[in-house]
Amino acid sequence: MRTGLTLRNEVGLHARPAALLVRAIAGVEADVRVRFGDDEADGHSVLAIMSLGARKGDRVEIEATGPQAVDAVERIEALAARDFDES
């Protein structure tokens, strides 16, 4: 399962939003990858996600594989739709 998201929250995928993303998919049986430009990060690693440097207005791609891939992507989409609870 794959989706693209344009980040609308003020800080992009920095510490707090990255931690919320990881927490949102904790316990979900899926391998999640976050891509920004040519870089890719493990969706279960706060530091890896932060290292992408994605900011407000940037578009990131989310790809999940595994038995609960759809659930993982839906959780991330819902979190992004809420602007990572920043607004």
Percent of the chain topping pLDDT 90: 98
Q: What is the three-class DSSP state of 64?
A: strand
- 87 versus 55: which is more confidently predicted? 55
Domains of the chain plus CATH, in order, are: 2-85 (3.30.1340.10)
User: Which pTM does this prediction carry?
Assistant: 0.95
Lookup: tokens for 64 = 């999940």
- 82 versus 86: which is more confidently predicted? 82
Pick from 44, 40, 1: which is nearest to 19 by CA? 44
Q: Catalytic pick from 13, 14, 20, 80?
A: 14
Could you count the other beta carbons within 10 Å of the beta carbon of residue 47?
Answer: 11
> Is 14 one of the annotated active-site residues of the chain?
yes
Specify the residue for token string 């929250």. 9
Q: Which amino acid is at 4?
A: G
